[in-house]
Structure 1
Amino acid sequence: MMNTQRWMVALLPLLLAACSQKSGEIEGVKSFENKGGDHQEGRVSYTQTPPAGGAHNPSWQNCGVYDQPLYNEYAVHSLEHGAVWISYQPTLASEQVTQLKQLAEGRTHTLVSPHEGQDSPVVVTAWNKQLAVKDASDPRIKTFLVKYEQGGEAPEIGASCSGAYNGTV
């Protein structure tokens, strides 16, 4: 009986932590309330860095892997189409950048690029959702991709993520 009680006492904090998190939520994901459909030419000021929605260019960024920073306005339009944007600090170690690029392989609605000015080494962004992590090997990145690529709150899920803008900053 004594061993069973010890086991239950050791397990209780884990069970309480699991129950306190809402089902299906990824630890650390921040939520925002941006509306879709607001097309604007030129530069747009955003509240989040990188942005997680809002006004954006009428053209979307072609999904894929980029070695140069992207214009926020085009990338946000891709988010509206259900894309996930994996951005990283330009100083991130090359091995970690390679890991992020590998995560995007075979995905039709994913962007990978460096992003100037973000606070965390890696930030994963979907429309109205964002996760900041310290390391490219964090398993939450893949979980976020699975959950939000062509899912979540994106206003135009299923819209194209190719055949538009391919430039970089």
Structure 2
Amino acid sequence: MKSLFPLALLLLLVACSGGSLEGVQTFDYRGGDHRSGSLVYAETPPVGGPHNALWQNCGVYDQPLYNEYAVHSLEHGAVWVTYRPDLPASEVTALKELVDGRSYTLLSPYEGLSSPVVMSAWNAQLAVDSARDERLKLFLDKYEQGATAPERGAACSGGYGGTR
């Protein structure tokens, strides 16, 4: 009987290699561009670019957020979990459970999403059809306080706490 050790080792190496996460789109924005007023973004929701000088406090919101504050939180290493406002309550509960205990996440409804749930980090985005998609946790693990954030570790509290 052949040993499964070589196969298990190969799977472990692939899992730990930091390879690409299926379905993630990546972008190339630089940080530090603070502006005031309403801004236009190429992605929905945005994944980087100019933003307000004040960041959005990380947390769970039941109303939409201003892009300009949330993008600043992404620059600090936050992951913004957005969902269609008509997402079933059970799916919203699953998203709340997913971000529970994480200090660098935003959760909010968002009008006009291409998919029921869209997860955004600085320069990365994943759109999925269900709050129970296993890639959501993998995205959080990779991008919350991840290497793509220009100012990771900067505050995600003490900023703007309002909604639109």
Q: Does 1:167 align with 2:157?
A: no
- Structure 2 residue corresponding to 1:103, chosen from 68, 90, 98: 98
Q: Distance in 2 between matches of 1:134 and 1:51?
A: 19
Q: Does 1:79 align with 2:74?
A: yes
3-state SS of paired residue (1:76): helix
Q: Distance in 2 between matches of 1:70 and 1:161?
A: 15
Q: Determine which structure has more spread, i.e. the larger CA radius of gyration.
A: 1
Matched-pair contact (CA < 8 Å) for 1:60–1:74? yes
Gap regions ≥5 residues in structure 1: 1-14
Q: Which residue of 2 aligns with 1:12?
A: none
| Cα distance, 1:119 vs structure 2 | 1.1
| Cα distance, 1:152 vs structure 2 | 2.9
Matched-pair contact (CA < 8 Å) for 1:83–1:149? yes
Gap regions ≥5 residues in structure 2: 1-9
Q: Which residue of 1 aligns with 2:22?
A: 27
| Cα distance, 1:23 vs structure 2 | 5.0
3-state SS of paired residue (1:100): helix
TM-score, normalised on structure 1?
0.86
Q: Deviations over 1:132-169 (max 9, x none)?
A: 00000000000000010001311001001001100001
Structure 1 residue runs of 4 or more that deviate by more than 2 Å after TM superposition: none
Taking the TM superposition and a 5 Å limit, the aligned residue runs for 1:1-169 are: 24-169=19-164
Matched-pair contact (CA < 8 Å) for 1:127–1:152? no
What is the number of residues matched between the two proteins? 150
Counterpart amino acid of 2:147? G
3-state SS of paired residue (1:111): strand
Distance 1:112 1:127, change over 3 A: same
What's the % identity of the aligned pairs? 63
